[in-house]
Structure 1
Amino acid sequence: MSETTMNTATGATAARGRGAVALTVARVVLALFFAFSAFAKLIAHESAIESFDRMGWSHGAMYLIGALEMAGAVALLVPLLSGVAAMAFVGLLAGASVVQLTLLDPVNAIMPTLLIVLVVLIARDRQDSTAQLIALVRRRA
């Protein structure tokens, strides 16, 4: 192998390594973000109650969404579950974008939309673990 080819391969490996580290950091930060958001809903913080009242949704919906966010936050931290959690968050965040656009403040729809890009990158990065999880579930079914 020529020196140029080796340098290119080493550079590509280093870039993949930095990307993997960045996505791992992103998973942890997102898990904290979603856990914080879930916690506000699960303790019925006044800001969460106000938002759900503005939407005309019940407190039961607030608790359900908070529980889903908390479960997803924990799953993002579990390597085998992180890809599936990221895919689930695509749906949750798409719903949040629609709610912001139609029921709350359209300007705030940009945040969940941007987060969708990040969770898609995480889901793509964790596709091997998702395949492992699917194979595990199929073996046990």
Structure 2
Amino acid sequence: MPRLAVGDAAPDFTLPTADGGSLTLSDLRGRRVIVYFYPAASTPGCTKEACDFRDSLASLQSAGYAVVGVSPDPVGALAAFADTEGLTFPLVSDLDRSTLEAWGAWGEKTLYGKTVTGVVRSTVVVDEAGLVTHAQYNVRATGHVARLRRELGVG
């Protein structure tokens, strides 16, 4: 599975959002963007990670970062997840997994001691010019956002 590395151009995407619109990554050029990939809305780990991003959103935005969550869930599941958890950053649906694959966030992973194919929990930070500044794969849901904030120098 090819993965993105620091300095790579972030693959553009246009995906439907939980609020019924769509989001195109290149429309965010000029801003730094944290794109995180998670397996499934409303599951314990994904909820913990999303809520950590929600709780850190003000400080991330103050530091100039936008946050976008990507999963293969249908828009309806994302809308329910956003509503239930009070998520105010965009959640986008990648039903055909083309974006997950292009960003290296789909492939083999170990789950409960077995090798399976699915979403690899990942976070990629993109700079104002659309280049990757951080690419983290197989991250843990718990503690990941706090570590990312430290690495980005966000208080």
Q: Which entry has the higher C-alpha Rg, 1 or 2?
A: 1
More relative contact order, 1 or 2 (CA 8 Å, 6+ apart): 2
> Is the helix fraction higher in 1 or 2?
1
Normalising by structure 1, report the TM-score. 0.28
> Is the strand fraction higher in 1 or 2?
2
